């Protein structure tokens, strides 16, 4: 079978690469053409565009890059027609993917969606387009199954969360060697995960780094995203207890005592590594105030959304400042608070439905194609 896969960011690259690996096991004649990243490219096939070319964050940033976005949409449609796949698999990235899905459905292509657009957070009226344009939907959050099946009468497949597999399948870390190889000393590590896009890193990292001098007994490690260059991060580092480790986020989390994390998939990754965290978010003034008026959620972190209560502290917009960040970091370093967080993390893992998301999804896609 010929699979055309569209993933537009780092997390999509990770999950799509594991899906490709699983598809190769069930379909020995699988052929891939895709938008994604290095992890997908490692699975074989043809990389059309790297997600580094596609990452625009927030409402104002999207508006500023509309010409590029529309050019990419036009090119994608032409590329799909030239390849003529048996199925198109959309991986999250809804602003782009839903436009392609509408066109593809009209053209008669089979459309599968892996990792649902977060229409339960905003733009719930997108359900009409999903029902019209998506043949099969594979969801990874437990509440999404009820949202689609019960609330909107649209049958979907709950396959579990692929992060469980991604974390379980990684190579174990030799902690002593890892510390030595990256110039880390004996002090406990506090991980800094400021996001993957330039715009959000620029907004987040300086504030995260502003607390480091108040925690001299710890060392801070920036987990550099694969979408950015090492030189970009080094412009921010001015303190002696701060290090940078590129493209090793899971290894950094595996040795971390606590973490400061930009909202997104990384909040769930930190929780699954059992790392107490403070969740941080600061958008542009325009983007934040637009989002505040249209997004209908009690929380912004996946951890709290899944558990439907505050498990981890969220510092949003003006609350994300040096003073409040120091206070909340002190709290998650306190042993009594950490014990409560660990108990919540174990409950979270049970709620996610177990391992095998990539395999389940691959088997369902292939079965439906057959």
CA 180 – CA 186 distance, rounded (Å): 10
User: What global pTM score does this model have?
Assistant: 0.81
CA 103 – CA 85 distance, rounded (Å): 14
Reported confidence tier of residue 264, pLDDT bands at 50, 70, 90: confident
Residue whose C-alpha is closest to residue 294's, from 98, 96, 56, 58: 58
Domain borders along the chain are 2-161+354-369, 170-351
pLDDT digits (tens, 9 = 90+) for 200-226: 899 899 999 999 999 999 999 999 998
- CATH topology for the 170-351 domain: Rossmann fold (3.40.50)
What average pLDDT does this structure show over 155-167?
93
Reported confidence tier of residue 168, pLDDT bands at 50, 70, 90: confident
Burial of 335 (0-12, 13-18, 19+ CB in 10 A): exposed
- In this predicted structure, the answer to whether residue 285 has a pLDDT above a threshold of 60 is no
CA 22 – CA 17 distance, rounded (Å): 9
Provide the pairing of β-strand 111-114 with 87-91. Answer: parallel
Burial of 87 (0-12, 13-18, 19+ CB in 10 A): buried
Query: Taking CA 114 as the corner, what is the angle to CA 291 and CA 199, rounded to the nearest 5 degrees?
Result: 40
Burial of 186 (0-12, 13-18, 19+ CB in 10 A): exposed
pLDDT digits (tens, 9 = 90+) for 14-67: 999 999 999 999 999 999 999 999 999 999 999 999 998 775 555 555 565 667
Q: 200 versus 2: which is more confidently predicted?
A: 2
Share of the chain above pLDDT 90, in %: 77
| Secondary structure (DSSP) of 133-195 | H-SEEEE-SHHHHHIIIIIS----EE---HHHHHHHTSPPP-HHHHHHHTT--SSPEEEEE--
Q: Which range is least confidently modeled, 43-57, 111-125, 268-282?
A: 43-57
**Quick one: tokens of 295?**
């997004």
Q: What integer pLDDT is reported at residue 61 of this predicted model?
A: 53
- In this predicted structure, the answer to whether residue 151 has a pLDDT above a threshold of 60 is yes
How crowded is the C-beta side of 316, counted as CA atoms within 13 Å? 14
pLDDT digits (tens, 9 = 90+) for 126-145: 999 999 999 999 999 999 99
- In this predicted structure, the answer to whether residue 257 has a pLDDT above a threshold of 90 is yes
What average pLDDT does this structure show over 299-320?
94
Q: What integer pLDDT is reported at residue 159 of this predicted model?
A: 95
Provide the pairing of β-strand 277-281 with 256-262. Answer: parallel
- In this predicted structure, the answer to whether residue 315 has a pLDDT above a threshold of 80 is yes
- In this predicted structure, the answer to whether residue 347 has a pLDDT above a threshold of 90 is yes
Q: What integer pLDDT is reported at residue 291 of this predicted model?
A: 56
In terms of phi and psi (left: phi > 0; alpha: psi -120 to 50; beta: otherwise), the region of 3 is beta
Q: What integer pLDDT is reported at residue 9 of this predicted model?
A: 86
Mean pLDDT of the chain: 91
- In this predicted structure, the answer to whether residue 68 has a pLDDT above a threshold of 80 is no
The string over 121-155, giving b where at least 16 C-beta atoms fall within 10 Å of a residue's C-beta and e elsewhere, is eebeeebebbeebbebbbbbbeebbebbeeebeee
- In this predicted structure, the answer to whether residue 3 has a pLDDT above a threshold of 90 is yes
User: Is the domain covering 2-161+354-369 a CATH 3.30.70.260 domain?
Assistant: no
pLDDT digits (tens, 9 = 90+) for 239-249: 789 999 999 99
Residue whose C-alpha is closest to residue 252's, from 309, 193, 308, 195: 193
Domains 2-161+354-369 and 170-351 share a fold: yes
- In this predicted structure, the answer to whether residue 286 has a pLDDT above a threshold of 60 is no
* Stated length of the chain: 370
**Sign, Cα dihedral of 309, 314, 316, 319:** positive
HEC secondary structure over 281-337: ECCCHHHHHHHHHHCCCCCCCHHHHHHCCCCCEEEEHHHCCHHHHHHHHHHHHCHHH
CB within 8 Å of 164: residues ≥ 6 apart: 272, 349, 352, 354, 355, 357
Reported confidence tier of residue 106, pLDDT bands at 50, 70, 90: very high
Q: What integer pLDDT is reported at residue 170 of this predicted model?
A: 87
Share of the chain above pLDDT 70, in %: 93
CA 124 to chain centre: 21
- CB of 40 within 8 A of CB of 3? no
CA 370 – CA 358 distance, rounded (Å): 18
């Amino acid at each position: 079978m010929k699979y055309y896969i569209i993933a537009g960011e780092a997390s999509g690259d990770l999950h799509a690469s594991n899906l490709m690996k699983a598809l190769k096991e069930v379909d020995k004649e699988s052929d891939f053409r895709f938008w994604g990243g290095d992890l997908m490219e490692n699975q074989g096939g043809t990389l059309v565009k790297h997600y580094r070319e596609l990452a625009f964050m927030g409402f104002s940033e999207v508006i500023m890059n509309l010409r590029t976005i529309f050019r990419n949409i036009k090119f994608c449609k032409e590329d799909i027609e030239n390849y003529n796949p048996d199925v198109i698999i959309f991986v999250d990235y809804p602003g782009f993917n839903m436009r392609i899905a509408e066109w593809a459905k009209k053209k008669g292509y089979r459309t599968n969606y892996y990792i649902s657009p977060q229409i339960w957070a905003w733009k719930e009226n997108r359900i009409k387009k999903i029902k019209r344009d998506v043949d099969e939907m594979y969801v990874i959050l437990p509440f999404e199954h009820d949202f689609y099946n019960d609330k909107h009468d649209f049958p979907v497949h709950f396959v579990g969360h692929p992060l469980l597999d991604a974390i379980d399948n990684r190579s174990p870390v030799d902690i002593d060697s890892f510390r030595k190889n990256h110039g880390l000393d004996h002090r406990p590590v506090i991980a800094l995960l400021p996001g993957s896009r330039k715009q959000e890193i620029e907004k987040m990292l300086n504030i995260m780094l502003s607390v480091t001098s108040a925690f001299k007994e710890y060392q801070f490690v920036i987990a550099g995203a694969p979408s950015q260059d090492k030189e970009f991060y080094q412009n921010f580092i001015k303190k002696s207890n701060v290090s940078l480790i590129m493209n090793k986020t899971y290894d950094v989390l595996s040795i971390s005592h606590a973490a400061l994390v930009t909202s997104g998939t990384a909040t769930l990754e930190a929780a699954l590594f059992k790392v107490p965290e403070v969740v941080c978010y600061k958008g542009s003034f325009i983007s934040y105030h637009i989002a505040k008026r249209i997004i209908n959620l009690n929380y912004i972190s996946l951890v709290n959304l899944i558990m439907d209560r505050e498990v981890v502290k969220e510092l949003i917009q003006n609350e994300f400042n040096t003073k409040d960040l120091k206070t909340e970091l002190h709290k998650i370093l306190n042993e009594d608070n950490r014990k409560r967080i660990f108990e919540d993390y174990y409950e979270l893992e049970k709620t996610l439905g177990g391992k095998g998301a990539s395999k389940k999804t691959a088997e369902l896609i292939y079965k439906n194609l057959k």
